[in-house]
Amino acid sequence: MQHLEKEDYDLIAAAQKAIRLNYDSKRYHHTVGAAIRCKNGKIYVGVNLYSLHGACAEQVAIGTAITNGERDFDVIVAVRGKDGKEIISPCGNCRQILHDYMPECNVIVSVLGALKKITAKDLLPFSYSVE
Ligand SMILES: [Zn+2]
Q: Tell me, yes or no, whether 59 lies in a domain.
A: yes
Q: Tell me, yes or no, whether 130 lies in a domain.
A: no
Q: Where are the alpha helices (DSSP H) in the chain?
A: 6-22, 57-67, 92-101, 120-123
Give the pTM. Answer: 0.94
The count of structural domains within the chain is 1
Residues marked as catalytic: 58
C-alpha to C-alpha distance for 58 and 75, rounded to whole angstroms: 11
* CATH number for the domain that contains residue 86: 3.40.140.10
CA of 15 to the centre of ligand 1 (A): 15
CA of 90 to the centre of ligand 1 (A): 5
- Residue pLDDT tens, the chain, 131 long: 899 999 999 999 999 999 999 999 888 789 999 999 999 999 999 999 988 888 999 999 999 999 999 999 999 999 999 999 999 999 999 999 999 999 999 999 999 999 999 999 999 999 887 77
Q: Tell me, yes or no, whether 106 lies in a domain.
A: yes
Q: Tell me, yes or no, whether 128 lies in a domain.
A: no
Element (H, E) at 108: strand 106-111
Contact between residue 43 and residue 62 where contact means Cβ atoms under 8 Å apart = no
CA of 97 to the centre of ligand 1 (A): 9
C-alpha to C-alpha distance for 16 and 49, rounded to whole angstroms: 16
CA of 21 to the centre of ligand 1 (A): 20
Q: Tell me, yes or no, whether 131 lies in a domain.
A: no
The three-class DSSP label of residue 115 is strand
Contact between residue 34 and residue 46 where contact means Cβ atoms under 8 Å apart = yes
Q: Tell me, yes or no, whether 55 lies in a domain.
A: yes
Q: Distance from CA of residue 60 to its chain's centroid?
A: 9
Burial class (CB in 10 A: 0-12, 13-18, 19+), 37: buried
CA of 131 to the centre of ligand 1 (A): 23
Beta strands at 73-80 and 106-111: parallel, antiparallel or unpaired: parallel
Contact between residue 107 and residue 4 where contact means Cβ atoms under 8 Å apart = no
What residues make up the domain containing 78? 6-123
